[in-house]
Amino acid sequence: MSHKEEKNKDVDTQPISLEEALQSKLSQEKRLLGQDLDSDERTIIGFFEQKNRLILDRIYIIFNQTRKNLNMELKTKSDLREKLVSLAEKEYIRIEGFVYDGEEREAFILMEKGEELIK
């Protein structure tokens, strides 16, 4: 192996800098953002474009209005809550409890990962 070939080999095996590694990972995450969602979950995330905080009743109305107009099967609140829990597990939203008129309720709040998906 010539001196030039040996020098090139050394350059190729140099570890990449931490900054380059982080930039690469960030770039890859942006490309993959949202690929772990089904179509219903993507639709639900879109509802947060106007407001970052929604309650289940509002999500239920918006989701089913569109489906009704397209003669599609309507979803129950239970089905939609399951989708919201899935979105929370994937860190697109978070679920926060609150009391309204003495009744326990839940608010669904868009997180940074969800905001990035909407952009």
Does residue 9 lie in a domain region? no
Has residue 15 been placed in a domain? no
pLDDT of residue 32: 61
CATH of the domain at 73: 1.10.10.10
Helices (H), the chain: 3-12, 18-32, 39-47, 56-69, 77-89, 112-118
- Token pair in block for residue 8: 């090139």
Q: What is the pTM of this model?
A: 0.70
Closest CA to 92 of 110, 106, 74: 110
Domain presence at residue 93:
yes
**pLDDT-derived band at 31, boundaries 50, 70, 90:** low
Which residue range is the domain that position 42 belongs to? 37-118
Cα separation, 95 vs 54, in Å, equals: 10
Say if 80 falls within a structural domain.
yes
Q: Which long-range contacts (CB under 8 A, 24 or more apart) does 94-97 make?
A: none
Q: Mean pLDDT across the stretch 49-75?
A: 94
Q: Which contiguous run of DSSP H or E holds residue 93?
A: strand 93-100
Distance CA 77, CA 60 (A): 6
| 72 has a pLDDT exceeding 70 | yes
More confident site: 73 or 32:
73
The band of 63, judged by pLDDT with boundaries at 50, 70 and 90, is: very high
Give a yes or no: residue 56 inside a domain. yes
Percentage, residues of the chain above pLDDT 70 = 76
